[in-house]
Structure 1
C-alpha cells in the first residue's frame, strides 16, 4: 500500500471506523483464518514496532527542539537587555555592544531555522505514526490462484475482503479493529500535541527579530506543510483551514488572523518553554498502557 495513504479515518468515531472497513467483507471469498492469521500477525508486529520507534523519534525531536528554543530565547533576551550589561575590561573596545548585539541577532536567526527544521521532523514523525496505524489490516490478494498472497490494501480486482479476517482474534484476544482503536487513541494524542507545538513554534518565530517578519497561524511554515498536516487530520482541504489548537476534550483556541513581530516578557517565554516540555496532550500513563496492552497481545516488549 502506498505510504501516502490518507489515514484520517483513524480519528473518526469507532462506529465510522468499523463501517469503513466491514462493508466489503464476505466470508465466501476470504482465505481461511489459518492462511490469513500468520500474515496478519507479522504485519501487526511490524506496525506496532514502527509506532514504538516513532514514539522514540518524537522524544528525540522534543528534546532537540527545547534546546533550540532555549537558545533562541536567550539570544533574544540578551539583545533586549544588552544596554544594561557590564563589559568590564573590554568595555573600551570600539562598538563592542553593537558587534555583540549583531552576533546575538545572527544566532537568533540561525535558531529560527533550526527550530523550524525540528518542527518539520516532528510533523514527519507524526505522519509516519498515522500511516503505520492505517496499515494494520491484511488483505487477501489474488483470490482463486493456487498461491495465496496478502497485502495491506484491498485487492484491485474488487474481491470482497475486509482485511480483518472477519473480525476473528488475530493472536489471543484482540481483533484487527481492537488494535486499530488503540492506535487511533495513540495517534490522536500526538496529533493534538503537534498542533500545540505548532502554536509555540509560531510564537517563537514571531519574536522580534529586526527586519524579518514573523509568521501567523494561517501561514504555511514550510513548503508542503499543509499536505503533511492534512495526513494528520490537522488541515482541511475542503475549507483550506488549519485545525486550531486545543487541549484534549477541550475547545479549540481562536487564532489571530495576522501576526507581526512582537516582544515578549521573560515570564511569557518561560511559560512557552515549559509548555513545550510538558507534553500536555500526551497522557503518558495511558500511552504506556496502550503499548503494554498491544505488546502483551502480540508478544513483543516495546520498552
Structure 2
C-alpha cells in the first residue's frame, strides 16, 4: 500500500507543478484569464485519457489466460521500471527550463489568440503524468497477491491529499523544503522502487521459464533479514531485496544501477547550445 501512496503523491505533485505554473501565469495577465477555462478543460481531458488507459489495461488483463496474465504483468512491471528511469532522466534534463518552456507555449497561445493550443498543452502534460501513474500502479499492484481494492483506493486518496499539502508547502518555499530537494529525494526513492519493479518482473519471467536462474539461490539471508515481513518486506517492496535471489536477478539488478548511473551522469552534463546558422 505504501508504494501506491508514494507513486500517487509524487506524480500528483508533478502534475500540480505544471498546472500551478500555467495558472499563475494566466492569473498574472488580464488577457490571460480568458484561458483559465481551457486550462481546466485540459486538466479534465488529461485525466480522462489516463482513466481510459487504466480501463484498457484492466480490460486486456481480464481477457488473458493465467499464463497470459503472468506475461502481461511481467511486461508491465518492466515497462514501469523503464518509464521511471526515462521520467527521471527527462526531469534531470528539462527540469531547469520546465517553467520557461511551459510559459513560452502559453505565450504562443496568447499571441495567436488560440486557447485550444493551451488546452492541448495542459492535456498532454496531465495525461503524461496520469499515464505514468497508471503504468506504475499497475506494475506495482500486479506484484501484490490478493490486494484489497479499498485499501489501494484509500492509499491513492491519501497520496493525492498529501500531494496537495506538499505542493502548498513547496509553493511557500523555505530552506528546509525546496523543489530541488524534493525532486532529489523522490528521484532516489523512485529509482529504488523501479529496481523493485525490475526484480518483480524478472521473478515472473524466471517462473515462466523465459530466463535461466544460473544459480538459485545465490545466498540465503532469511535468518538475518526475511523479505516477507518487517524491514525486509519494506526493502523488498521498495528496493527489490530478496532473501533467496537467483543469480540472474542479481546480475540484472547490478546492471540496472550501472545504466541508471550512466544516464544520470549524462543528463547532469550541461546541454550544448544549438549552433548559430551562418
Q: What is the TM-score with the length of structure 1 in the denominator?
A: 0.31
Greater relative contact order structure (CA < 8 Å, 6+ sep): 2
Task: Return the TM-score normalized by structure 2.
Answer: 0.33
Question: Which entry has the higher C-alpha Rg, 1 or 2?
Answer: 1
